[in-house]
Amino acid sequence: MQKKGEEDIEFVVNLVLLSPYLYNWNFYLSIEQLREYRKLALDQFISDYSIVKKRKRYLNAKLQKLPFDD
């Protein structure tokens, strides 16, 4: 998942670079900051996922058919 996450970050960064004027820069002040924050989020997720994987806190699901009552 780490590799896929890193690939996804670069994909998004490259898309934003194609049309930076379409992106809201109120939170991320630069493309590097966008990359850094997304990398930090990925690292935090990977760390958490590795710890709680056995407790099944994360579910495999797809939108429109989520496995929840509400």
pLDDT in tens, 10-63: 999 999 999 999 989 999 999 999 999 999 999 999 988 887 766 777 888 888
Q: 5: pLDDT confidence band, cut at 50, 70 and 90? A: very high
Residue 34: count other Cβ atoms within 10 Å of its Cβ: 19
Q: Give the separation between CA 11 and CA 15, rounded to whole angstroms.
A: 6
Q: What is the spatial distance between Cα 32 and Cα 25, in angstroms, rounded to a whole number?
A: 12
The whole-model pTM stands at: 0.76
| pLDDT band at residue 2 using 50, 70 and 90 as cut-offs | very high
Instruction: State the Cα angle at 40 between 30 and 19, rounded to 5°.
Output: 30
> In the predicted model, is pLDDT for residue 9 greater than 80?
yes
Q: Domain coordinates of the chain in residue numbers?
A: 2-55
